[in-house]
Amino acid sequence: MLPSESGPWQEMLATFASTVGDAGYELIVTPTFEDVSVFTRIGESTDVVRKEMYDFVDKGGRHVALRPEVTASVARAFIQHRPVTPWKAWYAGSNFRFERPQAGRFREFHQVGIEAFGTADPDLDVEVVTLGWDFFARLGIDGVDLLVNSLGDATCRPAYRQKLLDYLLARRGDLCEEHRGRVEENPLRVLDCKREACRVQTAGAPLQVDNLCDECAAHFERVTAGLTALSVPYRVEAHLVRGLDYYTRTTFEYAGTTLEASQNALGGGGRYDGLVQAMGGPPTPAVGFAIGVERTLLAIGASGAAPRSRARLHAFVVDFAGGGAARDITRELRQAGFKVDRAFDGRSPRAQFKAADRSGARFALVVGPDEAEASQVAVKDLSGGGQRLVGRAELLETLRSMLDASPGASPPGYNRAP
């Protein structure tokens, strides 16, 4: 990600931080690699753990892995530090999965996400799902489909799993090659298979949403009623099964309608009420999601949502009187909150003016030998509006009022949080 392309990336992170920060989620930073056992809990039968994890033995003989996702690390931190619940955290960082790289699928990719621990209240599911939805809306991305499902819990899933397995075993020979061999391992994954053979065979398969216990059914009803009440458009997608094993009850995905079908998941998540206990902690319900940064950037590009242009510089210092003025003025103005840059290497006035133009700055602050001698600065309007001489001591206040009066330029302070 080069500086010339990183504007939307920065914008996206800032939008995410404010969307979830304003809802009481606080930043957590977890290690990029941890003991491999932290991650094996997310599902021994999943591709993420079986085939895609970058695990290795380090020089101290420890078996570690680069994180393939962040949820397990946050759960590990929760168990280790036992914070007061409800505990709400957000994160941003890179993850690693040994996959076949293609558009929107990388071996190192980035996620932003939230996790909330300590309450089974379905209204928290609604909050989490809605925050992701609002995030995409704030970015101005069109074409996001919200798919929701319930995967039941330890009460109703075992019986459903058996029912589904019986159904699939009766059709085993007609499933795709991969699932013919692996159907017993994780029959639910077959429902989510994108291959035509499996899709045809699972069209009439029994669904978990029709086989929920009373508690799970009530939970799911409260979640969907909440989304409806908040006018968050969703579709119940009963074939939605996520690629990690820890989910219980609510699962959901934000699908980008402008992206290719095999990589159209912009993000996803759900409840994982059993994970903390499976990792050795106290029984603790939890829910969260992660959103793929690279995929979201693709969706921003595809939907033509205009990324905010680079923060415009207020001023560029052109100093051909030795460089001392540029050194001092940039510091002084930056400390006062202005966005300022300068040239280096004692370049010619012509080269410095060219750099000033290229920088997109509103004003050039020019100090040649005459200005230096008189303790003055020539403030030149780079959009062609002339030039005026200002005493060095008045520079800050004069520049502030010139920016105030200048259409399209925001003086320092304008773009800060209220």
Residue 39: how many CB atoms within 10 A of its CB? 24
Which residues, 6+ apart, have CB-to-CB distance to 267 below 8 Å?
Answer: 111, 113, 132, 253, 254, 289, 290, 291, 292, 295, 296
Please identify, using beta-carbon distances, which residue of 248 and 359 lies nearer to ligand HAM.
248
Please identify, using beta-carbon distances, which residue of 270 and 411 lies nearer to ligand HAM.
270
Please identify, using beta-carbon distances, which residue of 124 and 290 lies nearer to ligand HAM.
290
Residue nearest to ligand HAM (CB): 292
Pairing of the two strands 87-96 and 26-27: parallel
Angle at 249 between CA 246 and CA 250, to 5 degrees: 95
Residue 92: how many CB atoms within 10 A of its CB? 19
Least Å distance between CB 145 and ligand HAM? 13
Least Å distance between CB 336 and ligand HAM? 41
Please identify, using beta-carbon distances, which residue of 292 and 411 lies nearer to ligand HAM.
292
Least Å distance between CB 86 and ligand HAM? 15
CA distance 274 to 251: 14
Please identify, using beta-carbon distances, which residue of 104 and 285 lies nearer to ligand HAM.
104
User: Looking at this protein, which amino acid is placed at residue 114?
Assistant: I
Please identify, using beta-carbon distances, which residue of 107 and 392 lies nearer to ligand HAM.
107
Residue 134: how many CB atoms within 10 A of its CB? 17
CA distance 186 to 45: 7
Strand ranges, E, within 263-344: 265-271, 286-292, 315-319, 340-342
Least Å distance between CB 173 and ligand HAM? 30
Interface residues with ligand HAM (CB under 6 A) are 69-71, 97, 99, 104-106, 109, 111, 113, 115, 242-244, 265-270, 272, 288-290, 292, 294-295
Least Å distance between CB 292 and ligand HAM? 2
Least Å distance between CB 305 and ligand HAM? 17
